[in-house]
Every structure is written in C-alpha cells, then in structure tokens.
Structure 1
Amino acid sequence: MKLIDHAGSDCLNENYEGDLSFQPIPLNGICTRLGDKWTAQVIWHLAIARDRRLRFSEIRRQVEGITQRMLTLTLRNLERDGLIERHYFPEVPPRVEYEITEMGRSMLHALKGINLWIRENLPRVEELRQNYDANKR
C-alpha cells in the first residue's frame, strides 16, 4: 500500500506495504482515549507543569471548558492506563496531586507530531470545511 497525497504523489516516497506501524490495530480503547476531547490537553498540562505535579483544581483551571465530572473521568482513565500517577496526601483537608508517568511522557512525541500536523494544516482544513458547508446549502 502506498500513501498518496492529494496531489497524487507518493507520501515521503516510501512504500508502506508490510510496515506494521501503518496497519490497523485491534480495537483496544487506547485510540479512543487519546482521541477524546480532553486527554491530550490534560497530558500536555501535566507534561509542562513546573513543579511536575498539579492539583485537580489547577488542571481544571488550565483546561478551558472541562467540567469537574469530565476531568475526574479523564484523570481516572489516564491513571488506569498508566499515563499519569495520582498522589494522595491524608491531610486535613485531603490533598491529591497528579503527575505524568514515564509512559505518559513517551506519548508526547506522538502528540507533538499530531500537534505540528494540525498547526500546518488547520488553515487548509478550515478552508475546505467552509467550501464543503457552502456547497451543502
């Protein structure tokens, strides 16, 4: 299988046939998790945290638009997948902090690539969306 760009030329001039990194993987929930609305934002904020850990309220302030419930679910799922670690301090009141794990950090390279692709292609995507919407009226 060759990847062809919109102009019809081979992408990167490489043949991806037999390359397992370009083969579909079985449904496992990880792609869904990484593609949800909040995961990448939470991971990014934890990755750039100065003190390496953030409290729930700090994350909520930094991730614009996230509800308390969605942040709770996102953090639980990321902890379950081993991408973040939860630190509980039995104080009065109790304190909880979150930090990215080494496995979570290993994901940053992939997220950076996606982020760069979006930055490079967003103007074109927005133009194509407008054209599509105008033609559907």
Structure 2
Amino acid sequence: MKVTNDDLASKSASEEIKDYFSDVRKTNDCPITDVLARISDKWTMHTLITLGKSDKLRFTELKNQVEGISQRMLTVTLRTLEEDGFITRTQFPQIPPRVEYELTPLGKSLVVELIGLSKWANDNMGKVFEARGRYQLKNN
C-alpha cells in the first residue's frame, strides 16, 4: 500500500491504518518492531541491497562492496541475515575454503520492498531537509 501525506489526511486512509494496525498494542508483540529492529541498521540494509544486485557474492567481494564495513560487522550482519532466513550461506569443501552468500526468496521479497522505501526517501528527502532546517531555526 502506498500512502502519501495527502492520503493520511483523509478519513478513509486513517481508518485503513487503524484497521491494519488494530492488533498492535505492545511494542514487544509488534511484528513490525521485531522485523525492523533486525533489518533497519545501516549495515544490514547495505548488505541486503548489495546481495540483491548480484546472484552470489563471496565474503571478500561483499566486504569490498559495502563501503566502510569492518570484517567483524559484516560477519555479524551475515549471521543475523542467515538466522532470519534472508540469505543462504554455501560453503564449498575446497582449500582454501570458499563461501558464497545469496538472497533467499524471502530476502529478495524484502529487497523489493526496500525499493519502494528508497523511492519514497528520494522523493521526500528535500521535504525532510526543509523540515530539519525549520526545526533548527525554531529551536536555536
């Protein structure tokens, strides 16, 4: 569902939001909070998008393409993504060991949703910067 600021002002969109989120009462019971907590950090998003651009990548290839990530952070990120079923890790029995990572169908479906979020961010970043500027002027 694509919701714009104008849509939010209408009663029908507001009702739709209330209906959709009616069962969310506590933060710790909310599936959105749970999933977003796992995927919303900087490195997870970049890793998912990088894997989405390729069929399969090895660890070093990923590290080179996710600018600024440390080896340790990439390892932690990949383990979390594998645990949640967003990626698969395939280890090949050879010397030196070769490991490849790729998105699962679940991971691919998430990256498709990230495209919509990215489009929204690109379309609205100017408004966000303007709002930040107004806020800074008002609060300084």
TM-score by length of 2: 0.80
Runs of 4+ in 1 over 3 A off after TM superposition: 3-8, 21-25
What residue ranges of structure 2 are gaps of 5+ in the alignment? none
1:99 matched to 2:102? The reply is: yes
Aligned residues: 132
Partner in structure 2 of residue 66 of structure 1: 69
1:33 matched to 2:38? The reply is: yes
| Identical-residue share of aligned pairs (%) | 38
Greater share of helix residues, 1 or 2? Answer: 2
* RMSD between aligned residues: 2.7
**Separation of aligned partners in 1, 2:110 and 2:22:** 17
1:42 matched to 2:43? The reply is: no
Which of residues 57, 61, 75 is equivalent to 2:60? 57
Per the TM alignment, residue 90 of structure 1 is displaced from its structure 2 partner at its CA by 2.2
TM-score by length of 1: 0.81
What residue ranges of structure 1 are gaps of 5+ in the alignment? none
Per the TM alignment, residue 108 of structure 1 is displaced from its structure 2 partner at its CA by 2.1
1:127 matched to 2:130? The reply is: yes
**Separation of aligned partners in 1, 2:8 and 2:105:** 40
Equivalent position amino acid for 2:45 in 1: A
Q: Conserved in 2, the CA contact under 8 Å of 1:4 and 1:10?
A: no
Per the TM alignment, residue 92 of structure 1 is displaced from its structure 2 partner at its CA by 1.5
Greater share of strand residues, 1 or 2? Answer: 1
**Separation of aligned partners in 1, 2:95 and 2:58:** 15
1:79 matched to 2:82? The reply is: yes
